[in-house]
Structure formats: structure tokens, C-alpha cells
């Protein structure tokens, strides 16, 4: 393994931690002239699995079915709890996660097939439950857009969450879904500091653009909210109230939050990242994380993993309740419906 731990421009991770299942990995080459490790270029890898809808069994996640045309995420958020999923594919949760993107090129066709089957029970489908459906490659491939067009054709309700302004491209399709009360959007905002976002979430839309996305979606009549996530103790927690205020002013009607989660190798990468970019805050941040995670950097227990525990976690919870009430957020619960679900005649004919 290379010992190079310098930050890589445009990437969140600076190396590839060893895959916990395989115990090794192929390292990126070091430039012979400079001795530096260049940031890897993004590589797209075809996913040939024959289904696109996956099902969730976690008790503290508010959806059962989800789809995502992409695994891995070029956004490169250093804190991303989804990084370890890449290890199941034989890759690393570090640079591999953000540079080797698994693409389900036939996701729209698979989705249409599955929604058209009589065994499909109409229900809300979540998009971006793990990685972001509007990551940069979506601009070219348009797999998310085409999946939304299938949802609109069947009038199947969908909830979307993203950090990317690119979602505004699809306002026309989202309006079609909204005509039948079949869509809800959440924009995640971690910080309002564009410089912090630039090194922590290198290929996401900057905070100002995310607020603009909320404004445009709201202006189009699409139910949109904000997820203050993740809240990073000692680094971004002081921004919680301001993020809610800015989002509400942009037109958000609902809000949620999650505390930082650092499963498996993510805790080591995040700790290293703090040392690279915010060494003066590293000790404070890690101590506060230990405080909300019962003395550990991560606690995966259902019921506490999303919000944390202890005095500091309670302070954040109380602040959130006060601010959302003050701003009029979460006053009206947006309930999506399957009442309008249809199977177009063409899809029904294909069943016989």
C-alpha cells in the first residue's frame, strides 16, 4: 500500500483502505516523476443484475422499497455511511467507492417490467436511499430521469433525496407525478460553508445551489424539504438553525436530520480527513462523536444510530424541534398515495 496520504483534488478519500472481506486491494499507481499519487479517473462498470427494486428491513428507515441505478458515488462525501457497501463488490470503501461507479444501464426497462407484473404491490419507492441518484454521471446517462418517467407512467409514488442541483432538470416529470400526489423531494444540506463543502463533499452541488434547487422545486409546486445531514459534532452542528432558516425561506415545507454515522473503515478515513483539513478541530470533533456514540466512533444499533444519544444529542434534538416549530416546518404531513396507480394497457398485454 502506498503511504501517500495527501489530499487528492476533487476526491474525498485520499487512499484505499483494505477491503475487510478480502484483505487486499490493487493500489493506484504513483507518478514516477512527481512521486505523488494522482486522483483516479472515474470508471463506469456495468451492473448486469436482473432486478432494480430492492427491499429494506431496517426498522428505523421509513421506506420498504428502493431503487438506484448507481452503486458507488462520485460525489465523494468523506463521511458517507454507504462507502462500506462497495466492499461487498470486491472494491474498497475509499477511492474505489467514488471512482468505480457500478451502473445499471437497463434500470428503466427493469423498473417498467417489475411495476408491470401483477405481483407488484403499489407502494412508495425511495430513490437515493444509499448513493445519490443525481451524481455527476446522471447528467449524461439520464437513468434517473427515465426511471422517473416510468414512475409517472404507472403513477407509482416516489420519494427522492439528493444533494445535487441537477434534480431541477427533471421538474417537468416531477410535476407529472405531483399531479397525482406521487412525489416528495428532500434536499440534503450538510453545511452552508462552500469551502468546507468543497473538501468534505467535493463533487456535490455547493450549498447555494442546493438552496436554489429547493426554491425552484417549491415554485413549481413540488413538495420539497431539507435534510440537515449529517450533523457533524464540533464541525457543522452550529449551522443547524441557519440551514433550517435558509431552507424554509427557499420554500421547504418539511425537515429532518441525522447525526454523523461512521461504519467500518469510514471512521478511519474521516479521522484522517480531519487531520488533513482541520487538524486544530480533530480532537474536539472526535471527542464529541464519542460522546453521542456511547464512547465509540460508531454505534450501529437501530433506534439510536440516526440521532445519537447523550446530552449533546439531546441538545440537537431540542434545537431542531424549536427551530422547525418557529419556522413552520413539518406542520403539514405530505402523504403520498397509491390510489392512482395504473398498469398501462401495453404492459398488461405483455403479461399474457
Beta sheet of 224-231, edge-to-edge order: 53-55, 65-67, 125-127, 158-162, 183-189, 224-231, 254-259
Phi then psi for 43, rounded to 5 degrees?
-120, 130
Q: Spell out a b/e string for 62-95, using b for 16 or more CB atoms within 10 Å of the CB, else e.
A: ebbbbbbbbbbbbbbbbbbbbbbbbbebebbbbb
CA atoms within 13 A on the CB side of 164: 24
pLDDT given at position 14: 85
Cβ within 8 Å of residue 34, ≥6 positions away: none
Is the sign of the CA dihedral 22, 296, 231, 158 positive or negative?
Answer: positive
What pLDDT, on the 0 to 100 scale, is given for residue 31? 56
- Paired strand residues for 224: 185
Q: What backbone torsions phi and psi does residue 105 show, to the nearest 5 degrees?
A: -65, -25
Domains of the chain: residue spans and CATH: 43-329 (3.80.30.30)
- Per-residue model confidence as pLDDT tens for the chain (352 residues): 333 467 888 898 988 888 887 766 555 555 556 556 667 899 999 999 999 999 876 654 556 899 999 999 999 999 999 999 999 899 999 999 999 999 999 999 999 999 999 999 999 999 987 899 999 999 999 999 999 999 999 999 999 999 999 999 999 999 999 999 999 999 999 999 999 999 999 999 999 999 999 999 999 999 999 999 999 999 999 999 999 999 999 999 999 999 999 998 999 999 999 999 999 999 999 999 998 887 888 777 766 777 888 899 999 999 999 999 999 999 987 789 999 999 987 554 343 3
User: Distance (Å, rounded) from C-alpha 159 to C-alpha 126?
Assistant: 5
Q: Exposed (0-12), middle (13-18) or buried (19+): which is 190, by Cβ within 10 Å?
A: buried
Amino acid at each position: 500500500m502506498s503511504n501517500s496520504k495527501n489530499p487528492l483534488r476533487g476526491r474525498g478519500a485520499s487512499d484505499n483502505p483494505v477491503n475487510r472481506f478480502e484483505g487486499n486491494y490493487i493500489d493506484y499507481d504513483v507518478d514516477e516523476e512527481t512521486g505523488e499519487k494522482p486522483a483516479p479517473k472515474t470508471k463506469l462498470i456495468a451492473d448486469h443484475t436482473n432486478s432494480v427494486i430492492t427491499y429494506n428491513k431496517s426498522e428505523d428507515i421509513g421506506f420498504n422499497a428502493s431503487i438506484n441505478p448507481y452503486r458507488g458515488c462520485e460525489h465523494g462525501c468523506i463521511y458517507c455511511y454507504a462507502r462500506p457497501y462497495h466492499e461487498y463488490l470486491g472494491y474498497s470503501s475509499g477511492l474505489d467507492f467514488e471512482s468505480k461507479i457500478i451502473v445499471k444501464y437497463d434500470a428503466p426497462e427493469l423498473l417498467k417490467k417489475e411495476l408491470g407484473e401483477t405481483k407488484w404491490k403499489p407502494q412508495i419507492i425511495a430513490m437515493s436511499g444509499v448513493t445519490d441518484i443525481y451524481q455527476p454521471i446522471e447528467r449524461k446517462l439520464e437513468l434517473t430521469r427515465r426511471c422517473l418517467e416510468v414512475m409517472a407512467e404507472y403513477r407509482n409514488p416516489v420519494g427522492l433525496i439528493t444533494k445535487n442541483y441537477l434534480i431541477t432538470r427533471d421538474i417537468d416529470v416531477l410535476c407529472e407525478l405531483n399531479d397525482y400526489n406521487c412525489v416528495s423531494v428532500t434536499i440534503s444540506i450538510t453545511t452552508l460553508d462552500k469551502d468546507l463543502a468543497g473538501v468534505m463533499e467535493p463533487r456535490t452541488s455547493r450549498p447555494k445551489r442546493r438552496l436554489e434547487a429547493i426554491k425552484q422545486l417549491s415554485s413549481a409546486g413540488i413538495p420539497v424539504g431539507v435534510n440537515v445531514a449529517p450533523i457533524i459534532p464540533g464541525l457543522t452542528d452550529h449551522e443547524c438553525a441557519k440551514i433550517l432558516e435558509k431552507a424554509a425561506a427557499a420554500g421547504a415545507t418539511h425537515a429532518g436530520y441525522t447525526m454523523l454515522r461512521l461504519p467500518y473503515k469510514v471512521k478511519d478515513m474521516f479521522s484522517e480527513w480531519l487531520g488533513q483539513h482541520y487538524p486544530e478541530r480533530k480532537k474536539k470533533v472526535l471527542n464529541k462523536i464519542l460522546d453521542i456514540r456511547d464512547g465509540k466512533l460508531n454505534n450501529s444499533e437501530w433506534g439510536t444510530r440516526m440521532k445519537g444519544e447523550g446530552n449533546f444529542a439531546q441538545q440537537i434534538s431540542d434545537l431542531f424541534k424549536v427551530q422547525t416549530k418557529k419556522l413552520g416546518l413539518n406542520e403539514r404531513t405530505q402523504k403520498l398515495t397509491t390510489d392512482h396507480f395504473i398498469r398501462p394497457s401495453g404492459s398488461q398485454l405483455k403479461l399474457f
